[in-house]
Amino acid sequence: MNDLVFAACAIAVAAMVQGLSGFGFGMVLMGLLPLVLPVTEAVPIVSLLGLVVSTSVLVACRRSLEIRTVVPLLVGSLIGVPLGVWFLTGAEPDLLRGTLGVILVVFALHGLVGGVPPAVAESRGAWRDLVGAAAGVAGGALGGAFNTGGPPLIVYVTWRRLAPATMKATLQCCFALASCMQIALFVRHGIVTRATVVTASAGLPAIGAGLAAGFVLSRRISRVAFRRVVLLLLFALGAWFLVQSSGGLDASR
């Protein structure tokens, strides 16, 4: 019973973070759920719940979606997700997570202290689309492997200086596509089963409560405060990657 209560609270907190910032559900839940479930069971459950969350947030802010902005990210995700699922089935992720952690921490600190680099925000045409596709590949790979595809996508949309609602809608569209592909590949490999679907369904009420709380908070935070929250969460995500990477390296010695 204690494990069930903990899992429900973890799902609600992760959904609240997603409703507030537009990202973070997979990262938060993958940091908490393995405390009461094996990682091999947590990953597909988070994938299924993540699809529900991203779709719900996308519906709420669908009018802010800019097709021209999201297409390069989606194209990249189509390439990245299968690579991520391949990583999950055998590749060592510690070096990748450690490198990403360093990038995110440096980016967040720079943004908090000196502002956001203008290169992507001011660029136009093919170069900007290429950067977006690269972010989509990286996000898709991390999402397919660890349910943590947000960071590369967040870095890109933050550099683009998108409005909060557009940023959230763009991220949700990418997350939803990545989740659909990931789940399809998981089913093919036997990672998602009927029992997984039943277990994930039990978390739906917690998702509803968490998303509602996140939406309420998002309406009461200014754009400047929102950007600061995003950068602080990026720093936390980067630090989490570094801790996980160093832990994995220590364990291997």
Mean of the pLDDT values across residues 15-34?
82
At 119-132, the pLDDT tens digits run: 444 455 678 888 88
At 144-189, the pLDDT tens digits run: 877 778 788 988 888 888 888 888 899 999 999 989 999 998 888 8
Mean of the pLDDT values across residues 98-111?
75
Name residues whose C-beta falls within 8 Å of residue 77's C-beta, 6 or more positions apart in sequence: 136, 137, 139, 140, 143, 149, 174, 177, 178, 181
Mean of the pLDDT values across residues 185-214?
89
The amino acid at residue 41 is E
Mean of the pLDDT values across residues 222-230?
72
Residue-range domain boundaries for the chain: 2-252
pTM of the model: 0.74
**How is residue 189 written in tokens?**
């490999």
Is the pLDDT assigned to residue 1 strictly greater than 70? Answer: no
pLDDT value of position 11: 94
At 72-86, the pLDDT tens digits run: 999 999 999 998 888
Q: How many CA atoms lie within 13 A of 59 on its CB side?
A: 6
Task: Quote the DSSP letter at residue 192.
Answer: S
